[in-house]
Amino acid sequence: MTPTMLRQLWSLVENNQATLLLNLDDASLVQWLLKQFRTEQSLNAEEATMLGHYIRSKLPLIRDLAGQRMPQMALSRSG
């Protein structure tokens, strides 16, 4: 996996709604992130498999990051 692919994936995580990332089950979240990734960059079968494995290994971190954004989102709406 290239550094560009890693940056693109983590950008997707940061730029999408935290509630969506938190509410999807693991399999759905992996598939959703892969689908979003493919809208920006084409992947061959090997890259898609590798990226899917990487995403699965990082699901706790992805959910932690999304959860940390939740209080910020509530504060920005009330302000």
For residue range 53-62, list pLDDT tens digits in order: 999 999 999 9
Side chain identity at residue 12, one-letter code? L
> Can you give the pLDDT at residue 72?
58
pTM: 0.84
pLDDT above 70 (res 76) = no
For residue range 19-55, list pLDDT tens digits in order: 999 999 999 999 999 999 999 889 999 999 999 999 9
The encoded tokens of residue 35 equal 């689908």
> Can you give the pLDDT at residue 45?
94
The encoded tokens of residue 2 equal 């290239």
Side chain identity at residue 44, one-letter code? N
